Chain A
Amino acid sequence: MRYLIAVLGLILFSFQVNGQLYMAQNGEVSFFSKTPLEDIDALNKQVGSIINTDNNEVAVQMRVTNFVFPNKLMQEHFNENYLESDKFPSATFKGKIRESVDLKVPGTYSVTAAGSATIHGVTRSIEIKGTIVSTGDQISLNCQFDIKLVDYKIDIPKIVFAKIAEVIRVSSKINYVKK
């Protein structure tokens, strides 16, 4: 019985220690494609993300269908033809912050997250540089990185090739709350 209490205590303790999570439900991820013919931008305001500040691991998950385009036909093509969101409904990132920073301590940190991104069913290792501002209870993350469409087997037909950039600039702004 004494052991049991000790074990239960340990489990609780482990929850506390390893469960230092910061969560976001309404993070924003946008992307921008720029060509001489056409600028295309889309914004997803329903991005979920978690940071575990004890080991500085990060996970990001978003639904492809939640990207909003000013032109709805473009949005449909994006889902139906390019990202095939029926087959691959979500895009994810999981990784670890390289720097040994304690994000529970208020401050501004320049960080690099190394991990793998899954888009259009293709998983690739990726490194993302960003800035984290922590107030202790809240963390906000800002980052920008480039995605090469061929890397993720996103096929652009020749007829619209000139309108869609080969490299897409992705920006992300996520505000986390301590759980």
Chain B
Amino acid sequence: MKAKILFLFGMLHAAQLLGQDDLLNMLNQEDAKKTTYTQATFKGTRFINGQTVETIAKKHLNFWISHRFGALNSGFMDNFLGLDEAKIRLGLEYGISDVWLVGMGRSTIEKTYDFYSKYKVLRQSNAMPITLTMYGSLATNTMPTGYTLPSGNMMRYENNLQRQTYMGQLLIARKFTDKLSLQIMPTVLHNNKVESVYFDNNLYSLGMGGRYKLTNRLSLSAEYYKNIVDTQNFLETSGTPYPYQDSFSIGFDIETGGHVFQLHFTNSKGMIEKHFISQTTGTWANADIFYGFNMARTFSFEPDKKNKK
């Protein structure tokens, strides 16, 4: 009897191997051994003002046009709710490899040129829970010396070295579901010259950001930077309140083939780290916020195989 059962088992086993599904199962088992990387944690290389962990593909070029209109609370008759004025940043970024990009830009604010590089160190996969990207930038201020900052302080430069600001950031992100991705970004920013003796040359900040996909082509994104500044100490030593705020931005990403449009509200007028992390003056409470948009157009310089044939 036992032998008969075994015999039947043997027959079943043989019959099992015949099934098409088992051929597929075998293939699935083989496939499960391979590393699979998570794709498209975020739609773009930027959230709103800050950067995401995303880099662009090798030989691809992104052209960024970013606009921030005037403050919403600047009056309807006087300033058409801010739409009468605009600050612009034009930027280009290029993928040296699939994980390394370099970029540059020019901002209206403080006539600043910025140069940056991002390198993806770790990629989220079935073996790695997060994506880690290193990001560094240099901002060069080309304003004539002796201009007044939004805080009211006068900025004077004696040499070109004083005009430089350096920034380093770790971008750590995880795509939790196909809809939800979150990121944190510890930041250090160094100004070679600060506006008064009461400011520290180094500014530390912790950024947080996320996106939630509402549809395949529309997502909601937000970012917040918590600056680590002893405002109480600043008030006691300088006699005036700390003039800058933490930056908070919220908006929508709309994707059409080849373009990403980002429409948002932010209390920061600047579009590079030096400006939006360390020099944000607007507050959400006073509606001192700015409507803005970013547009990115991607160009591919990868030769099309079909065209070669």
| Docked complex Cα distance between A107 and B300 (Å) | 44
Given contacts A7-B6, A25-B30, A80-B39, contact A160 B257 (CB under 8 A): yes
Q: How large is the interface on A (under 10, 10 to 19, 20 to 34, 35 or more residues)?
A: 35 or more
| Docked complex Cα distance between A46 and B302 (Å) | 21
Flag B215-229 by CB within 8 Å of A: 1 or 0 each: 011000000000000
Flag B16-27 by CB within 8 Å of A: 1 or 0 each: 011011011011
Q: Does residue A166 face the partner (Cβ distance < 8 Å to B)? A: no
Residue of B nearest to A90 (CB): B31
**What is the distance, in angstroms, from B16's C-beta to the closest C-beta of chain A?**
9
| Docked complex Cα distance between A158 and B300 (Å) | 23
Q: Does residue A146 face the partner (Cβ distance < 8 Å to B)? A: no
Residue pair B27, A61 in contact (C-beta under 8 Å): yes
**What is the distance, in angstroms, from B271's C-beta to the closest C-beta of chain A?**
22
Flag A1-19 by CB within 8 Å of B: 1 or 0 each: 0011011101100110111
Q: Does residue A49 face the partner (Cβ distance < 8 Å to B)? A: yes
Residue pair A95, B20 in contact (C-beta under 8 Å): yes
Residue pair B21, A48 in contact (C-beta under 8 Å): no
Given contacts A57-B18, A70-B303, A160-B257, contact A10 B27 (CB under 8 A): no
Residue pair A14, B11 in contact (C-beta under 8 Å): yes
Residue pair B23, A72 in contact (C-beta under 8 Å): no
Given contacts A10-B7, A70-B300, A73-B298, contact A18 B18 (CB under 8 A): yes
Residue of B nearest to A92 (CB): B24
| Residues of B116-172 whose CB lies within 8 A of A | none
Which residues of A sit under 8 angstroms from B2, Cβ to Cβ? 3
Which residues of B sit under 8 angstroms from A115, Cβ to Cβ? 20
Output the residue of B11, B30, B40, B302 with the most chain A CB within 10 A. Answer: B40
Given contacts A58-B23, A61-B27, A157-B217, contact A87 B178 (CB under 8 A): yes
Q: Does residue B75 face the partner (Cβ distance < 8 Å to A)? A: no
Which 5 A-B residue pairings sit nearest by Cβ, starting from the closest? Answer: A14-B14, A3-B3, A72-B57, A59-B23, A86-B178
